[in-house]
Chain A
């Protein structure tokens, strides 16, 4: 039997935060998972009660609690709407770390996080070679959405319509960039993130295009690593700390005004979870993390809040005038309160008619590894999003997160819907590219 007393001692770290849940149950009204399953263990109140149960030594083993704690999209809807202001995400992330530290990671988690993700150069090589071989096992299924499916039965792929690894990752195209602040007078560091680098390099290229057109100086350091969220959500704090230190070295905080990303999850991780998990680091590291977090912005937020789109006269016509709707990534709207700016970018593009979909801020059901572990539930949640997109009657759904793009592409592709999934920045970059009048960069 596990030494539960030791676990209880570790859990004391979250005890005060746990006590602030008054069990009102209001999280039931916003949890995408609970809406699908109706099980109390799936909603925040139930999970907090389970952690409370661990503290009260109600369990001989932590496994069943850990399993239920892991069954969560980490979308943060509950925290955003919590009447008592319970810091649900902080509690869940810390509890996952405590439980993983106590019970250990699974073999595949160890392989992926410690063996691969923690070593950015090796991770890059492995995914590059995988991109060479993936065509042997998969075939394109939807040209418009760019999705693929399995050629042969595969337990990992199942019947997913997934976005394949790109032929060339972004860091092969642009391994390094350091340009001075242009006429905007601002210089930003671009945190690319794994999904943009390896699956959506075009979006990363579009971020560079847009920032260049807006007269913004760019720093893209060589050898960036993952933001750490996959490791952290599995409770692997060691790999997370390693990635954090690696990234801190590559992004010298004095060298840029802002750090931008085009991935909602990276933005939220850097702003919220880096400081949370750096609590035990030395004072210097904590200070650096705090400063980076403060400087971190979503790309649309940066463009709008810094008034860079009004400064640029060339924001012209979308190449193909279209009705566009927008999906709010949870990690932007619920975690950071960013929802106005991406819409403002879309509205700034002439030739786009923006249509608000029903439940634009309802989770798409991706949830990172949640999609891998609980594909059926993830798909059910995704179906709701698909119906909302269909009802909007738009030909394009834009969003601000590559993970959401993968999930929405999967549900639309399997449904055979004629709707394109685009990053907001892609649409902006394209209208700029199609417009010959844009001013020269520097």
Chain B
């Protein structure tokens, strides 16, 4: 338990200015972006260098204090909600880009570096870091690794895991563990880095991350296609993939979302359209020209009512502005926004979209659906007011129905938001009890006192 003596020792470890134990400060670290009850931590600490980070972890283990590592606190599954009375460990004191190596195309960063800031720094050196989660303007790379964050470019470029070359992390006793390397290939030892990615701070505490960089695409082309039938749009997604074209992004907006975006931004979207698809192909100029023609042909063949192809950057920006404002346009309609990310194999997109419409009707809820249709990762967004108890019960039932539907179609509970607290109770449905028991054995071996972000992923 955290008491005055513990706080005093923490202050000695990280400095008085980096310990927050006033209740008013602690209240501001009790939540993240998930729609879950806040939990008040007992103390919040902010180490400013690697060595101190390790000492704090070891100290918490020795004192049996639960530790929840927090970057920007933007997690959508409750992964950064601390344990009541536990310690919150901030990473924003560890926010330096340590190296950007153009020759070997990698970057080394501390966990608190903001995703968009790394992307900009890398771009300035003529390279490209593709993962672009929706929260990239504030999210940290440590958080991205711990949650295996995705983004709009997942379809072609993959997710955070595909860019982690190596990690340095502290185990629960404060030993510094190295895994992976600065090389493209690395076949030594257990792949501990794979175990750490997506472990949500339950197995160790990240200290340094080596990220793969790639050359940026030299050309790109964006298109917007309007459909008057939802089924047609979702079949088109499946058709593009079936033709073995891999666009950089292939996004979907349903009628509910289109109307919300249009009310909000007056971008000139067709409000009567059942669905819109946004497609961007990128790569070598020759390849872009060829693929964009192919995509256009498929769009026509599948019965798109209207196809707009961006001729320049301004038109491209207009096309993507609609997608970028989707979540905020929906969020403005109701106080509580539940953003789900159940994901299905791409060919099952039509079935999933159909099921979501059915669920909205069945539970009498407003659900806007948009998202990364190209990688099967839709974002059914439930608009509600958590204070309306009756409706909230229907929301919880609808979430479970969405999970069941995704799993029945061979999909997963979460494409990119993580298990956290929100989906821990449902994990068994996806993985079965065996995987959970094995995971608990791994957890017990690496964190025998169960102090590292307890309750997340595999339950308490």
Contact = CB atoms under 8 A, between A and B. Distances in A.
Interface of A: 16, 19-20, 22-26, 28-29, 38-41, 45-46, 49-50, 53, 58-59, 64-65, 67-68, 83-85
A82 B33 CA distance: 14
A113 to B, nearest CB: 25
Given A22-B337, A25-B72, A68-B24, A49 B31 contact: yes
B260 to A, nearest CB: 12
Chain B's interface size range is 35 or more
Nearest to B35: A22
B135 A59 contact: no
Given A26-B138, A28-B138, A40-B73, A49 B328 contact: no
B25 interface: yes
B137 A49 contact: no
B390 interface: no
A39 B336 CA distance: 25
Contacts of A19: 335-336, 385-387
Interface in B89-114: 90, 92-93, 114
Contacts of A20: 335
Given A25-B135, A38-B46, A64-B22, 8 more contacts: A19-B385, A22-B331, A22-B336, A23-B31, A26-B137, A29-B137, A40-B28, A50-B24
Contacts of B23: 58-59, 64
B429 interface: no
Contacts of B354: none
B29 interface: yes
Contacts of A25: 32-33, 72-74, 135, 138
A41 B32 contact: no
Contacts of A49: 27-28, 30-31, 38
Contacts of B137: 26, 29
Interface string B119-149: 0000000000000000101100000000000
B25 A41 contact: yes
A41 B24 contact: yes
Interface string B331-358: 1100111000000000000000000000
A39 B20 CA distance: 10
Contacts of B35: 22
B327 interface: yes
A64 B23 CA distance: 8
3 nearest interchain CB pairs?
A: A83-B328, A46-B28, A64-B24
Contacts of B72: 25, 28
Nearest to A29: B137
B87 to A, nearest CB: 15
Given A19-B336, A26-B137, A64-B22, A50 B27 contact: yes
Interface of B: 20, 22-25, 27-33, 35, 38, 40, 46, 72-74, 90, 92-93, 114, 116, 135, 137-138, 327-328, 331-332, 335-337, 385-387
B138 A22 contact: no
Contacts of A45: 28
A83 B387 contact: no
B132 to A, nearest CB: 14
B332 A84 contact: yes
Nearest to B22: A64
A84 B331 contact: yes
A24 B135 contact: yes
Contact of A84 (B25, B40, B337): B337
Nearest to B88: A40
B66 to A, nearest CB: 19
7 contacts: A22-B33, A24-B135, A25-B72, A25-B135, A49-B28, A50-B24, A83-B331
B74 A24 contact: yes
Contact of B28 (A26, A29, A41, A84): A41
A38 B47 CA distance: 13
B92 A38 contact: yes
B24 A59 contact: yes
Contacts of B29: 40
A84 B74 CA distance: 15
Contacts of B30: 49
A23 B337 CA distance: 10
Contacts of A38: 46, 90, 92-93
A358 to B, nearest CB: 12
Contacts of A84: 328, 331-332, 337
Contacts of A53: 24, 27
A128 B328 CA distance: 50
Contact of B328 (A23, A28, A29, A85): A85
A40 B29 CA distance: 7
Nearest to A43: B28
B24 A65 contact: yes
Contact of B332 (A40, A58, A67, A85): A85
> Which of A29, A38, A67 counts the most chain B CB atoms within 10 A?
A29
B209 to A, nearest CB: 19
Nearest to B27: A53
A33 to B, nearest CB: 13
A23 B33 contact: yes
Contacts of A26: 135, 137-138
A38 B94 CA distance: 11
A26 B72 CA distance: 9
Contacts of B332: 84-85
Contacts of B93: 38
B186 to A, nearest CB: 34
Contacts of B386: 19
A83 B332 CA distance: 8
A243 B258 CA distance: 46
A57 to B, nearest CB: 12
A124 to B, nearest CB: 40
Contacts of A28: 72, 138
A144 B137 CA distance: 39
Nearest to B325: A83
A46 to B, nearest CB: 4
Contacts of A41: 24-25, 28
Nearest to B116: A29
A267 to B, nearest CB: 25
A25 B29 CA distance: 12
A416 to B, nearest CB: 30
A408 to B, nearest CB: 26
Contacts of B32: 23, 25
Contacts of B38: 49
A418 to B, nearest CB: 29
> Which of A22, A26, A59, A84 counts the most chain B CB atoms within 10 A?
A22
B213 to A, nearest CB: 23
Nearest to B76: A24
Contact of A58 (B27, B336, B385): B27
B366 to A, nearest CB: 15
A42 to B, nearest CB: 9
A416 B29 CA distance: 41
Contacts of A59: 23-24
A28 B138 CA distance: 6
> Which of B32, B114, B328 counts the most chain A CB atoms within 10 A?
B328
A83 B261 CA distance: 12
B22 A29 contact: no
